[in-house]
C-alpha cells in the first residue's frame, strides 16, 4: 500500500470504528484536538498500561506519581520554560497562514499556497497556554497549563524520595496531560495542542549519567519492538548539539517511520542536574541527596525517557494496519499486540436465536473478568469475523448449536484465521496460554 494511502486509511478506520473522532465535531470540529471513542479509549489505555507495567510494575527502582496540571508559576520560571519555551514563527504574506520557521521546506515555497519567498521575518511564539486562577484576571493570578509532566516530578523529588526511601539510581514515573499552543498541529494525533505524556525521570549519581542514558535508549527502543513495531520501522537518532533543548546535555529520539517520513516518537534526554539545581535555587529548598555509604552529598543527575501516549498509539496503529486478500476476499486487519488491542476476545453466538443466547452470555460472563470482551450477535458470522479483524481482536469465540450438546466452542485466531474447537470449561486456560 502506498504510504500516503496508509494514513488516510488509518484515519478513516479510526473514525468509522470509533477509535478517534475530531473534537467538537457537531460544531464543525476544533482543529488540533481529537477525542478517543469507545474503542480508542481502550487502545490508548492499553498503551499507557503497557508503559506503566514496564516502567513501574516490573521494576523495583521506579515509583509513580500523579501531579496537578496547574502548578505554581514559579515552577515555569525555574524550569526555563517562561524564558525559552517558544518556536520561531513566520507568516506567509500571500495566504496569511503561519508556520514554524524550522519546519519550512528547503524550496522556500509556502506549504499552503506555494508562493515563493513570501515569509515574514521569524518571531518567537510562546507555546505555554496561559490562564487565570481565582476570581481576578490580573497578572498576579496568571497560571499556565503544564507543557510537560516532568516538572511535577522534579518539584516532588524530595517528597517521593523521602517517603519511599529510594536511593539513586531510582526513578519517578508519571502519565498525564500536557498542553502546548503548537503553531502547526497536524498529522492526525501526531501533533496536537492537548496530548498525554508518559515520562520517567530517573535520578542517578552524577558520574553514572552517560551509562544510564545508553541503558534507557535501548530499553525504550525494545519496548516498542516487544509490543509489535518491526525494528526496521524504528531508529534511534542522536540530536546534534544545536538541536538540544535548553536543559539537555544529550538527547536521542526514538524515531518511527511515519507515512510522511522518519519522525519523533519519544525523546530520551540526559538533563544532568539542570532541573533540581534550578528548583533548589528558585525554591530555596535543599534538593541534594546524601549518600550515607559514600559519605557525600550531591544533586542527582536525571535521565528522562519522555514518550507521547497519542504518538505511540498512532505508531502502533500504523504499524499494525494491513489489507490482504484471503480466499478471494479482501480483509483489513489490525495486527495489534494482544496487550494493546481494544478487545482481547469477541463472543459471537452463531445466531440470535433464544436457544443460543443463554449459553453465549454464560461464555461472556466467564471471560469478562479476565479480558475486555465484545459481544456481537448481528450480521453473518463471516462479517463479524471481519469486523473483529479490523479492530484487532486477537480471538473470536463462536457459540453454535453444537455447543449446547458438546459444551465446546470454536476459537478463531485473528492472524492465522485457524479455528480450534475448545471445551468451555477449558476456555479460560486456552486463552490464558495465548494472551499475555
| Dist. CA 359–CA 354, nearest whole Å | 10
Which of 166, 180, 387, 414 binds ligand GAP (CB under 6 A)? It is 180
Nearer to ligand GAP, 245 or 361 (CB): 245
Which residue has its beta carbon closest to ligand GAP? 308
Q: Is the CB of residue 18 less than 8 Å from the CB of residue 40?
A: yes
Q: Is the CB of residue 50 less than 8 Å from the CB of residue 340?
A: yes
| Dist. CA 94–CA 92, nearest whole Å | 5
Q: Which stretch binds ligand GAP (CB under 6 A): 99-107, 293-301, 303-311, 372-380?
A: 303-311
- Applying the rule CB under 6 A, the residues between 205 and 244 that interact with ligand GAP are none
Nearer to ligand GAP, 6 or 244 (CB): 244
Which of 168, 209, 305, 308 binds ligand GAP (CB under 6 A)? It is 308
Residues 105-108: contacts with CB under 8 Å, at least 24 apart: none
* Residue 199 interacts with ligand GAP (CB under 6 A): yes or no: yes
Give the residue from 301, 340, 336, 319 showing the smallest Cα distance to 265. Answer: 319
| Dist. CA 166–CA 202, nearest whole Å | 11
* Residue 267 interacts with ligand GAP (CB under 6 A): yes or no: yes
Nearer to ligand GAP, 135 or 241 (CB): 241
- Shortest Cβ 83–ligand GAP spacing (Å): 16
- Shortest Cβ 396–ligand GAP spacing (Å): 33
| DSSP E strand stretches across 18-112 | 20-22, 34-36, 62-65, 86-91, 98-100
| Dist. CA 376–CA 381, nearest whole Å | 10
- Applying the rule CB under 6 A, the residues between 47 and 106 that interact with ligand GAP are none
User: Cβ neighbours of residue 157 under 8 Å, at least 6 residues apart?
Assistant: 172, 201, 203, 276, 279, 287
- Shortest Cβ 308–ligand GAP spacing (Å): 2
* Residue 171 interacts with ligand GAP (CB under 6 A): yes or no: no
The count of chain residues that interact with ligand GAP, using the rule CB under 6 A, is: 19
Which of 264, 291, 332, 435 binds ligand GAP (CB under 6 A)? It is 264
* Residue 195 interacts with ligand GAP (CB under 6 A): yes or no: yes
Which of 182, 214, 291, 377 binds ligand GAP (CB under 6 A)? It is 182
For 169-206, letters b (16+ CB in 10 Å) and e give bbbbbbbbebbbbbbebebbbbbbbbbbbbbbbbbbbe
* Residue 191 interacts with ligand GAP (CB under 6 A): yes or no: yes
Identify the DSSP state of 259.
Answer: T
* Residue 192 interacts with ligand GAP (CB under 6 A): yes or no: yes
* Residue 307 interacts with ligand GAP (CB under 6 A): yes or no: yes
Q: Please state at what angle helix 427-434 crosses helix 357-367, rounded to 10 degrees.
A: 50
Chain residues binding ligand GAP by CB under 6 A are 148, 150, 180, 182, 191-192, 195, 197, 199, 264-267, 304, 306-308, 310-311
Amino acid at each position: 500500500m502506498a504510504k500516503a494511502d496508509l494514513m488516510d486509511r488509518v484515519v478513516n478506520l479510526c473514525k468509522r470504528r470509533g477509535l478517534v473522532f475530531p473534537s467538537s465535531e457537531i460544531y464543525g470540529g476544533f482543529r488540533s484536538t481529537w477525542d478517543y471513542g469507545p474503542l480508542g479509549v481502550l487502545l490508548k489505555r492499553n498503551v499507557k498500561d503497557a508503559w506503566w507495567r514496564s516502567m513501574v510494575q516490573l521494576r523495583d527502582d521506579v515509583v509513580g506519581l500523579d501531579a496537578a496540571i496547574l502548578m505554581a508559576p514559579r515552577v515555569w520560571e525555574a524550569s526555563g520554560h517562561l524564558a525559552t519555551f517558544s518556536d520561531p514563527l513566520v507568516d506567509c504574506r500571500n495566504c496569511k497562514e503561519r508556520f514554524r520557521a524550522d519546519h519550512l521546506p528547503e524550496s522556500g515555497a509556502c506549504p499552503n499556497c506555494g508562493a515563493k519567498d513570501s515569509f515574514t521575518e521569524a518571531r518567537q511564539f510562546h507555546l505555554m497556554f496561559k490562564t487565570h486562577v481565582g476570581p481576578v484576571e490580573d497578572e498576579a493570578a496568571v497560571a499556565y497549563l503544564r507543557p510537560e509532566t516532568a516538572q511535577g516530578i522534579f518539584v516532588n523529588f524530595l517528597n517521593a524520595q523521602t517517603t519511599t526511601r529510594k536511593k539513586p539510581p531510582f526513578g519517578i514515573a508519571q502519565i498525564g496531560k500536557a498542553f502546548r499552543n503548537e503553531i502547526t498541529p497536524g498529522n492526525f494525533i501526531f501533533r496536537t495542542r492537548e496530548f498525554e505524556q508518559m515520562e520517567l525521570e530517573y535520578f542517578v549519581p552524577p558520574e553514572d549519567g552517560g551509562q544510564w542514558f545508553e541503558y534507557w535508549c535501548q530499553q525504550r527502543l525494545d519496548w516498542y519492538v516487544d509490543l509489535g513495531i518491526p525494528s526496521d520501522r524504528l531508529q534511534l537518532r542522536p540530536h546534534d548539539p544545536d538541536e538540544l533543548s535548553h536543559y539537555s546535555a544529550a538527547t536521542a529520539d526514538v524515531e518511527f517511520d511515519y507515512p510522511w517520513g522518519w519522525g519523533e516518537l519519544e525523546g530520551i534526554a540526559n538533563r544532568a542536574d539542570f532541573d533540581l539545581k534550578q528548583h533548589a535555587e528558585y525554591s530555596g529548598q535543599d534538593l541534594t541527596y546524601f549518600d550515607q555509604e559514600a559519605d557525600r552529598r550531591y544533586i542527582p543527575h536525571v535521565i528522562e525517557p519522555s514518550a507521547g501516549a497519542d504518538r505511540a498509539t498512532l505508531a502502533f496503529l500504523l504499524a499494525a494496519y494491513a489489507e490482504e486478500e484471503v480466499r478471494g476476499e479482501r480483509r483489513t486487519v489490525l495486527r495489534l499486540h494482544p496487550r494493546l488491542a481494544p478487545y482481547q476476545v469477541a463472543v459471537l453466538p452463531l445466531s440470535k436465536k433464544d436457544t443460543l443466547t443463554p449459553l453465549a452470555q454464560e461464555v461472556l460472563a466467564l471471560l469478562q473478568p479476565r479480558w475486555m470482551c465484545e459481544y456481537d450477535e448481528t450480521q453473518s458470522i463471516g462479517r463479524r469475523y471481519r469486523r473483529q479483524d479490523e479492530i484487532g481482536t486477537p480471538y473470536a469465540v463462536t457459540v453454535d448449536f453444537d455447543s449446547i450438546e458438546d459444551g465446546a466452542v470454536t476459537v478463531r485466531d485473528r492472524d492465522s484465521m485457524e479455528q480450534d474447537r475448545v471445551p468451555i470449561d477449558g476456555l479460560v486456560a486456552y486463552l490464558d496460554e495465548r494472551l499475555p
